Amino acid sequence: KIFQQEIQSFEFKHKPSGHDYLVKGIPIDDQDGMLSMAVLVFQNISEQKSIIRQISDYNVNLERSLSGHRIRLKEIEKKFSLLFEHTASGILLTDQEDKIIQANPTFCKSIGYYEQEIKGKPISQFSTNPFPDVFHNIIQSGSDTISYQQYFTHKDQQSICYKVLAGIVYDENDNPIYALQLLEPIDKEKQIQTEQTETKLVKSMMAASIDPFMLLSFNGLIIESNKAFTEITKYESINAQSLYYYDLDIDHTEEEFFQIIQQLKNRPILSFETRIKRQDNKLIRARISMSVQSTEACTINCFISDLTYKEESLAAFKKSREFISSIVSNIQDLIFSLDPMREILFISEQCKEITGYSPIEFLENKKLLSDIIYISDKGLLDRKEENIRSGIPFQIEYRIITKSGKRKWVRESSKASWDEHGNLIRIDGSISDINTQKEAEERLKKSESALIEAQQMASIGNGEIDLVAQKIHWSKEMLQIHGLSDSNKSLNIQSIRSYTHP
C-alpha cells in the first residue's frame, strides 16, 4: 500500500516490548523512475498514546462529574424555587443599581404590592430611610454578608421594620451580579422599645460626654452628634446629617473606613490618631475611638479627642512649669507639695542641699519627708496636724537628720488647700535651713550667760595678785567695798594687812 501510495503511515504494537510505534513509509524511485524500494521510519509513540488515553479518561470523568453537578444544581434550583415561593421570610433579588429583579410572595404580601408593581423599580422607592449600598459595603468590608435594619412603606403608607441579612451572588467568573436579601419583620412594639432604649442611651452618652461624639451608621453616615462635636468641628449638628465620617477624616479614605468597620467586628473598641478637617478647613489632630453601638441598627459610637488643643495646652503647661521651675531653682528654700495622705506630689531640687536626699529618693519613698524628722521633735507633727485642720498658714521649727547623719535645724512654712466641699486637696509649703542661725543663737546664749555670770562675779569684787612685784590689783568694786579711791587700786601685798580684821 505504501508502494501504491494508498497510505503514508501506520501504527502497530511491538508485542515483545509492548510499545506502540508509528511507521512512516517513504517510496524511492530508481534511476529509471521506477519504484524500487521504500524507507520505513519507526517512531515510539507509547508515551503520547498514554497521555491521550489519560486525557480521554479525564474527559469522560469530567463529563460524568458535570452531569452530576447539573443534576445537583437543578435540585438546588428546585429547592431554592420552593423556598423562594413558600418561605415565611421575605426574599429580594436586586441588581447593582438597587433595582428589584425579583421578590417572593411573602415580601410582596407584607408591603401590599404585587411583584409586577415593584419589579424593575429602585428599592429606595419603597423604603423610608436611606438604603445601604449592599454591593459596596460587602465588597469593601471583605465580609460575606452584612445585616442592618430597614423600614419599608406599605401600600397603605404604614411603616414596617425589617431585619435584613444581605449577601452577593457571583457569576462563574466571580463577578457580582445581584444581591440576595433575606428580610424578617421585627415586632413593632419590641422595635419601639428597642429604639427608645437605644435613643435614651445615645442621648445620655451625648449629654454626659465632654468629648465630641458622633453616632455613625455602618456606611459612615453621621446620624447624631453632640454640642462638643459642633465646637470642635464647627459643623452644626443639624448640618452634620449630610456628612459622612470620611468627609472629615482626611487620612482615611472611604475604602479604609470600611476596613476599620471590618476590624470592629473582632474587637470591642478601636482607637487611632488622625487629622480632622473642620468646616473652616482648619486641620486638627485627633484621637478617634470607635465601638459598635448596635449590630441590629448597624450603628457605631465614635468619640473624638482633640489632640491639637491638648498639645497646645501641654505646651503651655510645660512652658509654665519651666517658668515655675526657673523661679523655684533660684529659691534657697525646699519647696514641696503633699497629697491628702501626706505623700509627696512635688519637691524641689533644693532638697538635696538641705537634706542630702535627691528628689527621686523623696518620690520613691513618699513618707521620707516625715521620716527624717529628729525623733525628739516628732511630737511637733501633732501640732502641725492641728494647724492643717485649722486652715491657716503656720510655721514650725524642728530638727532633721540628714542623709550623712548630721543633725540640722529647719523651719517649715505650710498652708493647706481645700475644695468647695471642705475636702483637703493638698498641702503646699517650704522648708528653710536655719541651722547656721540656730548655732549663732546658741553661741549668743552662751555669751550672754558668761556675761551675766561675769557681771555677778564683778559685783562681789575681785583682784589680781602679782607675785613677782608683790602687788595686788583690785577691781573698782573691791576698792568701793574698802572705801578706797581709784588711786589705791595697786597696793603692796604687805599693806593689805591693814585692811584685814585682826
For residue 241, what pLDDT is reported? 55
Q: In what order do the strands lie in the sheet with 270-277?
A: 222-225, 213-217, 299-306, 283-294, 270-277
309 domain-assigned: yes
What's the CA gap between 474 and 462, in Å, rounded?
Answer: 6
The answer, yes or no, to whether residue 195 has pLDDT greater than 60, is: no
Q: What is the dihedral of CA 191, 196, 198, 202, to 10 degrees?
A: 150
Same domain, residue pair 315 and 347: no
Give the end of a domain, one of 302, 327, 352.
Answer: 327
Mean pLDDT of 334-339: 89
The answer, yes or no, to whether residue 128 has pLDDT greater than 70, is: no
What's the CA gap between 358 and 136, in Å, rounded?
Answer: 63
110 torsion bin: left (phi>0), alpha (psi -120 to 50), beta (else): alpha
| Global pTM exceeds 0.75 | no
> Inter-axis angle of helices 254-264 and 134-141, to 10 degrees?
70
Q: Dihedral of CA 371/377/382/388: which sign?
A: negative
Nearest to 391 by CA among 369, 436, 423, 363: 423
For residue 407, what pLDDT is reported? 93
Mean pLDDT of 5-25: 80
Same domain, residue pair 390 and 312: no
Residue reference for cell 453621621: 222
For residue 433, what pLDDT is reported? 92
For residue 88, what pLDDT is reported? 74
**Which of the pair, 6 or 150, is modelled with greater confidence?**
150
Same domain, residue pair 286 and 300: yes
Q: Yes or no: say if 293 and 300 are a contact pair by the CB < 8 Å rule.
A: yes
Domain containing residue 128: CATH number: 3.30.450.20
Continuous H helices in 461-500: 476-482
For residue 10, what pLDDT is reported? 82
108 domain-assigned: yes
410 strand-pairing partners? 398, 433
For residue 389, what pLDDT is reported? 81
Domain extent, residue 421, equals 331-438
Q: Dihedral of CA 245/249/250/253: which sign?
A: negative
Same domain, residue pair 158 and 258: no
DSSP 113-172: --HHHHTTSBGGGGBSSPPP-HHHHHHHHT-SEEEEEEEEE-TTS-EEEEEEEEEEEE-T
What residue type is assigned to position 362 of the chain?
A: F
495 domain-assigned: yes
Same domain, residue pair 121 and 171: yes
The answer, yes or no, to whether residue 327 has pLDDT greater than 70, is: no
Mean pLDDT of 201-206: 64
448 domain-assigned: no
Same domain, residue pair 227 and 322: yes
DSSP 194-248: HHHHHHHHHHHHHHH-SS-EEEEETT-BEEEE-HHHHHHH---TTGGGG-BHHHH
170 domain-assigned: yes
What's the CA gap between 161 and 184, in Å, rounded?
Answer: 9
Mean pLDDT of 189-196: 59
Same domain, residue pair 426 and 500: no
What's the CA gap between 138 and 77, in Å, rounded?
Answer: 24
Per the prediction, the chain carries an average pLDDT of: 79
449 domain-assigned: no
Same domain, residue pair 323 and 335: no
Same domain, residue pair 93 and 159: yes
Residues 6+ apart with CB under 8 A from 114: 108
Using DSSP, state whether 32 is helix, strand or coil: coil
Same domain, residue pair 337 and 304: no
pLDDT tens digits for 416-438? 888 888 888 889 999 999 998 88
CB atoms under 10 Å from CB of 382, counted, come to: 9
pLDDT tens digits for 377-405? 988 878 888 888 877 888 899 999 999 99
221 strand-pairing partners? 244
**Which of the pair, 51 or 156, is modelled with greater confidence?**
156
**Distances from the Cα of 387 to the Cα of 342, 381, 399, 413, 431, angstroms:** 14, 10, 19, 11, 16
The answer, yes or no, to whether residue 313 has pLDDT greater than 80, is: no
The answer, yes or no, to whether residue 288 has pLDDT greater than 50, is: yes
Number of domains the chain contains: 5
Give kind and range of the element (H or E) at residue 314: helix 307-329
Q: With bands split at pLDDT 50, 70 and 90, how would you rate the model's confidence at 310?
A: low
- How is residue 59 written as a grid cell? 474527559
The answer, yes or no, to whether residue 240 has pLDDT greater than 50, is: no
Strand duo 90-94 + 100-103: pairing:
antiparallel
Same domain, residue pair 134 and 179: yes
The answer, yes or no, to whether residue 11 has pLDDT greater than 50, is: yes
- Name the DSSP class of 186: P
The answer, yes or no, to whether residue 365 has pLDDT greater than 50, is: yes
**Which of the pair, 132 or 442, is modelled with greater confidence?**
442
342 torsion bin: left (phi>0), alpha (psi -120 to 50), beta (else): left
201 domain-assigned: no
Same domain, residue pair 322 and 225: yes
What's the CA gap between 117 and 134, in Å, rounded?
Answer: 23
For residue 430, what pLDDT is reported? 92
The answer, yes or no, to whether residue 250 has pLDDT greater than 80, is: yes
Q: Yes or no: say if 477 and 461 are a contact pair by the CB < 8 Å rule.
A: yes
Give the end of a domain, one of 190, 210, 233.
Answer: 190
What's the CA gap between 218 and 300, in Å, rounded?
Answer: 7
Using DSSP, state whether 71 is helix, strand or coil: helix
Phi, psi of 157 (to 5 degrees): 75, 10
Residues 6+ apart with CB under 8 A from 7: 1, 25
The answer, yes or no, to whether residue 27 has pLDDT greater than 80, is: no
The answer, yes or no, to whether residue 352 has pLDDT greater than 60, is: yes
74 domain-assigned: no
pLDDT tens digits for 77-105? 666 666 667 677 888 888 888 888 888 88
